[in-house]
Amino acid sequence: MLDNPLDEEYHETAITFNGVTLDSVAIRTKGGSSLSSVANSSSDRYSFKVDINEYVSGQKFFGLKKFTLQNSFNDPSYMREVIAYELMDEMGVPTPEHAYVNFYVNGELFGLYLMVEAVDGEFVEKHFANSNGDLYKPDGTGSDLLWLGDDIQSYTDINLQTNEDTTDNGAFINFVESLDKGETSAIDIDTLLRYMSVSTSLSNLDSYHGPLAHNYYIYDDDGVFSILPWDFNESFGTFNMDCNSVDVRELYIDEPVSGALSERPLIANVFAEQSHLDTYHSYLTQLINGSLSSDTFNARVNEIADLIREHVQNDPTSFYGSTYFEQNLTSTTGQFYGLTSFMEYRVANMAAQLDGTLPSAGDGSGFCAR
């Protein structure tokens, strides 16, 4: 696998956790730009996807059929993704479970990783009363959810995750057609507003509202689609593709897109109604006064740091090392904003946008074009 990491090909292995061993599971490398970046470096610290029932149908591992091992690429703090998932969960967005793990290969410590539950059929069963809908992970053509016609073949990169053999993708076609008409009837509006309150607060442009329109799932619950969170290692302003001429800590709250708002109809349609913006602003205020307030946020960063510090120090494949880890908790390190300093600046900026001291939107061309 390490000889051919870009193939993302499954290999059979055994896995052990808490004294329990399964002898036939699948593991492969995973990732997009992060995968190619590691492949082109001297490091073997890839993220991995583990499929428990690839070879043994119905097999589970502590209740999971699939999970990922995230490598903390572009995150010296090791905790951007953890904090983002915690905030999503707090705001009531269906969120994958996650935990830090020490990952061993052939008995030798390989690194401190974040184990994240897969967003799949099992996840849907836990979070939705109707678990028979279609689940998608858009990433490429069609992921902006712009109308490309009624032929599902035009949406080549929406990546169906469930019902592969039975769906006609009709719900998805109806969804993007309704978005094209400016409608919101096929959107789980409240989940979107809650999701956006967190993603916007973290200036998370490596997402649907960023230039690549990826790192999210959508689930069809009786014709109404919910957005689901995924992959936040480059949140806290780290990802600035096409946006390096402005300070992403000042991302507009009402136009939190890198390009034209009209090119992200899932957000544009919902934000077009003032009542929805009012609700969204109330969620931002809840975060600002709660988990993102200085004392509360700083305490949580310190709590996580105390949990993982020893393991960061012992991590043999760390991209950045313990010195960068300690610095990045509070201070900008290289291209990475310090967690607490970022949040202090971001909260003050969002508060000023909410009270009208600073503009909360531009002319529709997107924050990065201002």
d(CA 295, CA 292): 8
pLDDT (tens digit per residue) in 56-108: 999 999 889 999 999 999 999 999 999 999 999 999 999 999 999 999 999 99
pLDDT of residue 241: 92
pLDDT of residue 43: 95
What global pTM score does this model have? 0.97
Distance separating alpha carbons of residues 223 and 275, to the nearest angstrom: 23
How many of the other CB atoms lie within 10 Å of CB of 282? 12
pLDDT at 32: 83
DSSP string covering 103-166? EEETTEEEEEEEEEE--SHHHHHHH-S---S-EE---STTTT-----S-GGG-TT--B-S-TTT
Classify residue 235: in a domain, yes or no: yes
Report how far apart the first and last C-alpha atoms of the chain are (Å, whole number).
Answer: 44
Say how many domains are in the chain: 1
Instruction: Write the pLDDT tens digit of every residue in 238-257.
Output: 999 999 899 999 999 999 99
- Alpha-carbon radius of gyration of the chain: 20
What is the DSSP secondary-structure string of 161-203? -S-TTT---HHHHHHHHHHHTT--TTB-HHHHHHHHHHHHHTT
| SS3 assignment, position 227 | strand
pLDDT at residue 33, as a whole number = 84
Residue 239 lies in a domain: yes
- CB contact burial 54-82 (16+ within 10 A = b; e otherwise): beeeeeebeebbbbbbbbbbbbbbbbbbb
pLDDT in tens, the chain (370 residues): 999 999 999 999 999 999 999 999 999 999 888 999 999 999 999 999 999 999 999 999 988 999 999 999 999 999 999 999 999 999 999 999 999 999 999 999 999 999 999 999 999 999 999 999 999 999 999 999 999 999 999 999 999 999 999 999 999 999 999 999 999 999 999 999 999 999 999 999 999 999 999 999 999 999 999 999 999 999 999 999 999 899 999 999 999 999 999 999 999 999 999 999 999 999 999 999 999 999 999 999 999 999 999 999 999 999 999 999 999 999 999 999 999 999 999 999 999 999 999 999 999 999 998 8
Q: What is the pLDDT of residue 57?
A: 92
Within-domain flag for 209: yes
Query: Which structural domain range is residue 177 located in?
Result: 130-289+351-369
The pair of structure tokens assigned to 234 is 């480059």
